[in-house]
Copies of this chain bind each other. A is one copy, B any other.
Amino acid sequence: MTTFSLPSGRPLGVAVIGYAFMGKAHSNAWRTVASFFDVPAFEQKVLVGRDALAVAEAAAKYGWAESATDWRSVISRDDIDIVDICAPGWMHAEIAIAALEAGKHVLVEKPLANTLEEAELMAEAAASARERGVRSMIGFNYRRVPALALARELIAEGRLGTVRHIRAAYLQDWLSDVETPMSWRLRKETAGSGALGDIASHAIDQVQHLTGQTVTEVTGTLRTFVAERPGAAGLEKVTVDDAAWATLGLTGGVSASVEASRVATGQKNSLKIEIYGSWVR
């Protein structure tokens, strides 16, 4: 991991926006990272969420000094140096851009944004912030999985010869049951997409990260198998995909198939990547 240059002698102040599934996972990471890795000094300053009571309880549980409900006031605090965005996708762009402009280092969960336009604005804000010494990154955590990091090294060393094609499949089944209820993850306006942004994003990132190549061609398909799910007000329309398929062409000539599904019954959280190189005598 790269190290931040500390603005002063004091520990870096961290704020996490969001306290649900990912907010909890990131809180755990912040709580334990210094036990395992050599990182700059930092403090778990504030956990941010919309529900004051719930976020206060979560903050206490996950080791945060305070909780807050207004992310805008948090990113304007002088004692906050890092803003870690675990809010739903539709909020990413606004928070990230504001935080970058406020001079905060930013970590955003994937998928980066719900629309290409938002993503481009964020990338611009990040590039401009970088010139002022402000760091930013997307939460592609699989890059740090030892087996994948090793695979990347083996590829870079040419141990597989020339990589020809890759098969990447990310399969889950938590939406297999038609009774699994509606949530923000199943609405296009909040989540942007379904399996595509949620998990195919990891697979696509790996394809690029493993090979050091960039996707330049794509053909793909999306499917929603369960069109309606039980919500607060009866059945509601699911407006994102349950599964996604794509064939990718990369700059260096690699082809990759990517498949993601949240209705792959029996697969709890399976990310499998097969890499086929030229024959090495």
Residues of A within 8 A of B (CB): 24, 27-28, 31-32, 34-36, 61-63, 160-161, 164-165, 167, 169, 173, 176-178, 219-221, 223, 225, 242-243, 245, 247, 253, 255, 257, 259, 261, 263-267, 274, 276-279, 281
User: Which residues from B are CB-within-8-Å of A61?
Assistant: 34-35
Q: CA of A89 to CA of B281 in the docked complex: distance in angstroms?
A: 32
Least Cβ–Cβ distance between A230 and chain B, in angstroms: 14
- The answer on a CB contact under 8 Å between A257 and B279 is no
Using known A-B contacts A24-B35, A28-B32, A63-B35, determine if residue A261 contacts B178 with beta carbons closer than 8 Å: no
- The answer on a CB contact under 8 Å between B276 and A264 is yes
Using known A-B contacts A24-B35, A35-B62, A257-B259, determine if residue A225 contacts B164 with beta carbons closer than 8 Å: yes
- The answer on a CB contact under 8 Å between B27 and A31 is no
- The answer on a CB contact under 8 Å between A28 and B35 is yes
Each complex incorporates copies of this chain amounting to 4
Least Cβ–Cβ distance between A220 and chain B, in angstroms: 8
User: Which residues from B are CB-within-8-Å of A63?
Assistant: 35
Using known A-B contacts A177-B279, A278-B178, determine if residue A245 contacts B243 with beta carbons closer than 8 Å: no
Using known A-B contacts A245-B257, A255-B243, A257-B259, determine if residue A178 contacts B279 with beta carbons closer than 8 Å: yes
- The answer on a CB contact under 8 Å between B32 and A32 is yes
User: Which residues from B are CB-within-8-Å of A167?
Assistant: 169, 259
Tell which of B31, B243, B255, B276 touches A165, judged by Cβ atoms closer than 8 Å.
Answer: B243
Least Cβ–Cβ distance between A71 and chain B, in angstroms: 22
Tell which of B169, B178, B245 touches A247, judged by Cβ atoms closer than 8 Å.
Answer: B245
Q: CA of A245 to CA of B245 in the docked complex: distance in angstroms?
A: 10
Tell which of B165, B173, B242, B247 touches A261, judged by Cβ atoms closer than 8 Å.
Answer: B165
A sample of 18 cross-chain residue pairs with beta-carbon separation below 8 angstroms, ordered by A number, consists of A27-B35, A28-B35, A164-B263, A165-B223, A167-B169, A177-B278, A177-B279, A178-B279, A219-B219, A221-B247, A221-B255, A245-B247, A257-B257, A257-B259, A264-B276, A265-B278, A265-B279, A267-B276
Identify the closest chain B residue to A161 (Cβ). B265
User: Which residues from B are CB-within-8-Å of A178?
Assistant: 278-279
Identify the closest chain B residue to A274 (Cβ). B264
- The answer on a CB contact under 8 Å between B176 and A279 is yes
Identify the closest chain B residue to A177 (Cβ). B279
Q: CA of A174 to CA of B35 in the docked complex: distance in angstroms?
A: 23
Q: CA of A218 to CA of B61 in the docked complex: distance in angstroms?
A: 46
Q: CA of A242 to CA of B162 in the docked complex: distance in angstroms?
A: 15
Least Cβ–Cβ distance between A69 and chain B, in angstroms: 21
Q: CA of A167 to CA of B94 in the docked complex: distance in angstroms?
A: 38
